[in-house]
Amino acid sequence: MTLIKTISGIRGTIGGYISDSLNPMDIVRYTTAYAQFIDGKKIVVGRDCRRSGLMVHNIVVGTLMGMGYDVVDIGCVSTPTTSLAVLSTGADGGIIITASHNPVDWNALKLLNRHGEYLNVVDYQKILSYAENGRFNYADVYRLGKLTNDNSFHHQHINAVLNLNLVDVAAIRNRKFRVCVDTINSVGSIILPELFQALNVDFVIINGNHTGDFTHNPDLHEKNLHGIIDKMKKDCFDLGIVVDSDVDSVAFICEDGTLFGEEYTLVAAADYVLSQTPGHVVSDISCTRALRDVTQKYGGRFYTSTVGESNVTEKMKEVGAVIGGDGNGGIIYPELHYGRDALVGIALILTRLAQTKCTLKELRNTLPDYKIIRNHIDLTSDTDVDSIFMEVKERFVKDTSASINDIDGLKIDYPDRWVHLRKSNTEPVVRVYSEAETIEHADDLGNQLMRFFYNLQKDQLLRSKILRH
């Protein structure tokens, strides 16, 4: 069982022992610590549709009310919808109950501030400190919070997207797109049909019930998308669209069933936004170089941050970026709000296609072409990741052709390729991303680093066994 506490939320597998997983006792503990940190009067709560959602939701709502908070329960909604609801209700914060791209046995508490944005690392450390201290003061019977149910916020979210200056509703309606959509049995099947109806988009949804029984892993990786890829190849669609369980990330599939590339979601959106409103762009350090190239094409500056939505948004605010996000299909467009939003991504890409009258494949061919490979290394409880990273750094710092960046894991950057190793914020793994101009070079570089890491991990395990005996 697993419990991970990072800026990406309090995240874990459901069930198990206290402090080892996301179980009722730990849900109460971290919800209470969050409420104590916020020190306000009203909290918005939304969730995705995964199997454990109702159980976690009931504990969270009851705990907040027990802390004296009024709760606005907005039901099964997307993560960006919850962010906007915090803003529109004037709440002091929000909790989104979702494990996003994680499998069905996971869930998480994603924590928002009064701006509807993820808490930063300093705020999270305070909450973890409160949770460890455990000196909580609950409300007496006369100060218990009240519960309000409001299911209108997905309508407000859609209207806000349609009213953005760079979303050309008329052009999209006139293009009369036909799309295939995979909503992975979650809230995408609730909100996306209404968006498409408003845009006069003909759509076919697969995995379209919202039972939370995911037909496949909700991660947007190619290995999970065979269902929609096969349907795209058999039937006639203009494009395919895939969202994760809480609809903050989106990937596209070209009309011939080939992947557009989830890392190119942000690249394509940025290319359109920068063509209309030149400026700066921010992504996390693992994003494709294509985003840098597109930014520079329009005269802007490209900045990177450590991985994590709050880190990206902080850097965006610092440099006044016009768009930002990550390589996992997440688009942050400040004209609406500072949070990843699949609806914004869909609307911007459809606008680009409608205005240029091109296909998705043709759009992809206009963008810089790099090949990125995403791998991971499973971690054991005995793995000392930091010491392994130090040994890897010592090995490659001698290579004068590479620059080393260790602000978030370890990125080894060559003129024509790069590889990034980083401990995940959401799973017990080290992510290994590598990119080059050819798939072979990207694969070779990634495999080289993975073999080196595995060998060091094996040596560590051997040494620990010797010490124990």
Range of the domain at 23: 3-151
Q: From CA 51, how far away is CA 106, in angstroms rounded?
A: 9
Average pLDDT over residues 89-104: 96
- Average pLDDT over the chain, rounded to an integer: 94
Which of the four pLDDT bands, split at 50, 70 and 90, describes residue 466?
A: low
pLDDT digits (tens, 9 = 90+) for 385-396: 888 889 888 888
* pLDDT-based confidence at residue 105 (cuts at 50, 70, 90): very high
* Pair (146, 165) in one structural domain: no
Asked whether residue 399 carries a pLDDT value surpassing 90, the answer given is: no
Residues 68, 104 share a domain:
yes
39 plus 141 within the same structural domain: yes
**Is 208 in contact with 231 (CB distance < 8 Å)?**
no
Q: What is the pLDDT of residues 142-152, one digit of tens each?
A: 999 999 999 99
Q: Are 253 and 226 in contact (CB under 8 A)?
A: no
Is residue 345's pLDDT more than 70?
Answer: yes
Same-domain check for residues 126 and 226: no
99 and 140 in a single domain? The answer is: yes
Q: Which of 344, 365, 386 is the last residue of a domain?
A: 365
Q: Kindly tell me if the per-residue pLDDT of 91 is higher than 90.
A: yes
Count structural domains, the chain: 3
Q: What is the pTM of this model?
A: 0.94
Phi then psi dihedrals of residue 22, to 5 deg: -90, 90
Q: Which one-letter DSSP state was computed for residue 218?
A: S
Residues 319 and 428 in one domain: no
Question: What's the whole-number mean pLDDT along residues 170-189?
Answer: 97
Would you state the structure tokens that stand for residue 88, as one six-digit string? 């529109």
Instruction: Supply the DSSP symbol for 224.
Output: G
Residues 323 and 383 in one domain: no
| Mean pLDDT value of segment 365-373 | 96
User: 171 and 232 in one domain?
Assistant: yes
Query: For residues 237 and 179, is the Cβ–Cβ distance under 8 A?
Result: yes
Pair (117, 7) in one structural domain: yes
* Same domain membership, residue 312 and residue 178: yes
Burial 189-213 (b: 16+ CB within 10 A, else e): bbbbbebbebbebebebbbbebebe
Pairing of strands 202-206, 178-182: parallel
Whether residue 315 sits in one domain with residue 265? yes
Mean pLDDT, range 94-113, rounded to an integer: 95
- Please choose, from the candidates 149, 160, 420, the residue with its C-alpha nearest in 3D space to the C-alpha of residue 287: 420
The mean pLDDT of 212-234, rounded to a whole number, is 92
pLDDT band at 463 (very low <50, low <70, confident <90, very high): low
**Hey, what amino acid is at 451?**
R
Q: Which of 340, 365, 390 is the last residue of a domain?
A: 365
Residue 459 confidence (pLDDT): 78
Same domain for 394 and 462, yes or no, is yes
- Amino acid 155: pLDDT: 96
Contacts of 24 by beta carbon, 8 Å cutoff, 6+ apart: 55, 59
CATH for 297: 3.40.120.10
Read off the pLDDT of residues 418-454 as tens digits, 9 standing for 90 and up. Answer: 999 999 888 889 999 999 999 999 999 999 999 988 8
Q: Say yes or no to pLDDT of 462 above 90.
A: no
Domain termination residue (choose one: 86, 116, 151): 151
Q: Do 5 and 100 form a contact (C-beta atoms < 8 A)?
A: no
What sections of 16-69 are H helices per DSSP?
A: 24-38, 53-66
Residue 467 has pLDDT above 60, yes or no: no
Residue 75 has pLDDT above 70, yes or no: yes
Task: Give pLDDT tens digits for 281-329.
Answer: 999 999 999 999 999 999 999 999 999 999 999 999 999 999 999 999 9
DSSP state of 367: S
pLDDT at site 39: 92
pLDDT of residue 141: 97
Provide the token pair at 149. Answer: 């149910």
- Report which residue type is found at 282: V
Indicate which CATH number applies to the domain containing 451.
Answer: 3.30.310.50
CA 162 to chain centre: 22
